[in-house]
Amino acid sequence: MTLAPRIGVAVLVVRNGRVLLGQRLGSHGEGSWALPGGHLEFGESIEGCAQRELAEETGLQAHAFAPGPFTNNVLVSRGLHYVTLFMVARDAQGEPERREPDKCAGWEWCDWSALPSPLFSPLASLQQSGFVPEGIA
């Protein structure tokens, strides 16, 4: 098998100065806090992936996304290498629901300056880069 980097798309939803995070279940990073997101599928646009993953995982509907930073997270020993593209949802509508109970322990609105731990590694990298999403006071 040839190892290759994979592309993850993660969605920043900011409301009332807080960002939406969920605690991962049942795959790598179990127990860590992550943004909604998932794998970019073959042929999919980045915006399309962001919209689809957000809707599948939280039920939130968004149509306007601003491109954010990217991170490169390599865990060679575990065969993991992800480039994560962060997308900022500008018009997310609705209340988050736990649509994939086997994959997420629950959604919480979190202060960017006091994020829960442990963070899923791409999100930890993003925070360490000093990036602050729009809408955070």
Site string for ligand 8DG, 98-127 (x = CB under 6 A): -----x----------------x-xx----
Judged by beta carbon distances under 5 to 8 A according to partner kind, the member of ligand 8DG, Mg ion, none in contact with residue 8 is: ligand 8DG
Q: What share of the chain is helix, strand, coil (3-state, %, to 5)?
A: 20, 40, 40
Cis previous bond, 118, omega within 30: yes
Q: Which of 37, 58, 96, 119 is in the footprint of ligand 8DG by CB under 6 A?
A: 37
Contact residue for ligand 8DG among 38, 58, 88, 96 (CB under 6 A): 38
**Quick one: 114 exposed, middle or buried, by C-beta within 10 A (0-12, 13-18, 19+)?**
exposed
Q: Which of 14, 35, 50, 60 binds ligand 8DG (CB under 6 A)?
A: 35
> Is the separation of the CB atoms in 9 and 38 below 8 Å?
yes
SS3 99: coil
**Pattern 57-96, binding to ligand 8DG, x per CB under 6 A?**
-------------------------x-x------------
Q: Which 3 state secondary structure label does DSSP give 123?
A: helix
> Which parts of this chain interact with Mg ion (CB under 5 A)?
38
